Amino acid sequence: MRTTAFLALGLAALLALPGGLTTRVDAQEGGGAGDLLAAELAYAHVRARRDDDVAALQQFRPGYSFWQHIFTIPDGHIAFGSAADGRLLAVFPTRGNWARDGVWTDPAHADLLAGRRLQRNLDQRRDLVAALLQEVAGPVVHNPTRGLFVLPNARRYGAFLQEWGAIYERFGVPAEIGLAQATVESGLNPTRRSSARAVGFCQWLLGNWRRLDRLTPDVLEANNQTTQAAYCAAYLTVLATKYGSFIPALSEHHSGGTNIGRTLVNGVRLGGGDVRERYFLGSQLARDLRQISLYGYRDLYRTYGPRSYYYSEMVFGSTATLAALVASAPQVKIYAMRTPRAIPLAEITRRTKLSADEVRRFNPALRTRVPAAAALYLPVYVAEFGRDVSFWHRPPAPSFAAVLNEFLRLGAGEERWDDRRFEPVLRGFERRFAGTNTEEGRIMAAVLAYAVDEAYQSRRGTILAEFRTSPAIQRLFDRAVLARGASGPIRASLTDLDDASSR
């Protein structure tokens, strides 16, 4: 089948799908409406937070939904979209005749390249097409596609998405946000490892997984995606509570707390009101200054780069693909058993009648045996393999729901959270989560301990306090604002865009 026909069929199917994915834990046997009151309050709180984030994206980055196409169209193409509303405008093969082989989503633009001579150099050709499209469709954004980063893993693991979504929601993260981050970070590949030795779903460094392993009584196998989902969700909830928004929380996960702190301080200096406005104003300044002078203003943004700028909108934009991924395969249950002993793979296959490959699909970390005190994941519960720790199949315990609901409503503010005097508050929640005697409570306690150590054993608070008050930084900021004003409109470079969707 010709590339053009393949893309046309794929785009037609994609554009017909509804956006978003919602996973909720409803009352089951043994749980009543009263027990779920705190859980429902927590759920409503995080959905309101998500809705406020979407409203801010529509105001400051209205083209954010464009990014869904980057991770659904196979590699080897350049996608062009509207920066004003995110709609896909055209897709061209990286190699080939763009006037003949392009796929146009709006037939009115189909003759835009007719009779034009296009450069052989890909970057120059992209610049020309962007300029032509801008004349008829307004500001545009364009990027190489990366569908092959996701599609092979979606075929293997797409049947697990609803289960993973339920895990994210148990910790106060909307399913579509958590799963979209996993899609952007790892393409849903649980064993993906970066050059920096970041592992799996949310690309945590292997050293960080080892630290978490020391903070929990259970054995963590970092290459098991169902394990990763719970810890990634708990950490994102901590960051979203810190900021009162998933937008800077996602960016901190990618770029680090010190970079996001600088971005927010710059947003304050630019007159930003709430945290979302401060973040978007500060991030726009960082992007513009990189285009004006990469190193001249570096002290204002340090390593906050192109992918940092686009990261949260890539995640939110990719939420629209989750419905398609869920629809791609019948969903199956995942049961978790806490192993009382080491269990060989041969025993698991013999007892369950599953193939070794199928067992490893549920347990990518499994080589020859599951260690004692680890989690074994299967499509059925087998009592001989340990007690059932599939907490996402049950309503939340009232004790956990109450503590989570209270935690989610903690006063936000990075300056407050970076102050060492706030540590007793977080340590108190760590103890309270552990005291719920639930699986999810122990996970939250371990992640809070990790986050507190990360915050207060580093120099982040000191660095950001100096950044807020330094006269030299203030003078550099004033010069930067003048330089940006004198430069006029600043368009993202091709390199800037290329870097956005790649590691």
Are the C-beta atoms of 216 and 446 separated by less than 8 Å?
A: yes
Q: How far apart are CA 478 and CA 33, in angstroms?
A: 56
According to the model, what pLDDT value does residue 488 have?
63
For 55: left if phi > 0, alpha if psi spans -120 to 50, otherwise beta; the answer is: alpha
Residue 35 burial (CB count, 10 A): 15
According to the model, what pLDDT value does residue 154 have?
92
Query: Looking at residues 389-394, what average pLDDT do you find?
Result: 98
**What would the DSSP string read from start to end of 441-480?**
HHHHHHHHHHHHHHHHSSSHHHHHHHHHH-HHHHHHHHHH
Q: How far apart are CA 455 and CA 256, in angstroms?
A: 11
State the amino acid at position 304 in one-letter form. Y
Is the pLDDT reported for residue 409 higher than 90?
Answer: yes
**What would the DSSP string read from start to end of 307-331?**
HHHHHHHHHHHHGGGHHHHHHTS--
Q: Which domains does the chain possess?
A: 36-67+145-324+408-487 (1.10.530.10), 76-144 (no CATH), 335-389 (no CATH)
Q: How far apart are CA 68 and CA 183, in angstroms?
A: 10
- Percentage of residues in the chain with pLDDT exceeding 70? 90
Helix (H) / strand (E) containing 337: strand 335-338
Are the C-beta atoms of 375 and 227 separated by less than 8 Å?
A: yes
The helix/strand/coil state of 335 is strand
Question: Phi and psi dihedrals of 477, rounded to 5?
Answer: -60, -45
Is the pLDDT reported for residue 22 higher than 90?
Answer: no
Residue 141: strand pairing partners: 81
Q: Which among 322, 325, 318, 323 has a CA at the least distance from the CA of 66?
A: 318
Q: How far apart are CA 79 and CA 147, in angstroms?
A: 11
According to the model, what pLDDT value does residue 27 have?
37
Is the pLDDT reported for residue 86 higher than 90?
Answer: yes
Are the C-beta atoms of 221 and 374 separated by less than 8 Å?
A: yes
State the amino acid at position 223 in one-letter form. N
Q: Is the pTM of this model over 0.75?
A: yes
Dump pLDDT digits (tens) for 307-347: 899 999 999 999 988 888 888 889 999 999 999 999 999 99
Question: pLDDT category, 415, cuts 50, 70, 90?
Answer: very high
Q: How far apart are CA 67 and CA 81, in angstroms?
A: 9
According to the model, what pLDDT value does residue 492 have?
57
- Identify the residue whose tokens are 């849903």: 188
Residue 23 corresponds to which tokens in the numbers above?
A: 């996973």
Are the C-beta atoms of 342 and 211 separated by less than 8 Å?
A: no
Q: Which among 274, 323, 317 has a CA at the least distance from the CA of 162?
A: 323
Q: How far apart are CA 84 and CA 104, in angstroms?
A: 18
- Identify the residue whose tokens are 């390249």: 113
Q: Which among 240, 227, 228 has a CA at the least distance from the CA of 172?
A: 240
According to the model, what pLDDT value does residue 277 have?
98
Q: How far apart are CA 309 and CA 246, in angstroms?
A: 14
Question: Phi and psi dihedrals of 78, rounded to 5?
Answer: -115, 125
Is the pLDDT reported for residue 493 higher than 60?
Answer: no
Burial class of residue 269 (count of CB atoms within 10 Å of its CB; 0-12, 13-18, 19+)? buried
Are the C-beta atoms of 370 and 338 separated by less than 8 Å?
A: no
Q: How far apart are CA 71 and CA 168, in angstroms?
A: 21
Dump pLDDT digits (tens) for 133-183: 999 999 999 999 999 999 889 999 999 999 999 999 999 999 999 999 999
Dump pLDDT digits (tens) for 456-470: 999 999 999 999 999
Query: Looking at residues 397-421, what average pLDDT do you find?
Result: 94
Q: How far apart are CA 340 and CA 353, in angstroms?
A: 21
State the amino acid at position 247 in one-letter form. I
Kindly state the DSSP code that residue 456 receives in the 8-state scheme: H
Cα 179–chain centre separation:
7
Question: pLDDT category, 9, cuts 50, 70, 90?
Answer: very low
The helix/strand/coil state of 393 is helix
Buried b (16+ CB within 10 A) or exposed e, 332-344: eebbbbbbeeebe
Is the pLDDT reported for residue 5 higher than 50?
Answer: no
> For the chain, what is the mean pLDDT?
89
Helix (H) / strand (E) containing 357: helix 356-362
- Identify the residue whose tokens are 């059932």: 388
According to the model, what pLDDT value does residue 273 have?
93
Question: pLDDT category, 248, cuts 50, 70, 90?
Answer: very high
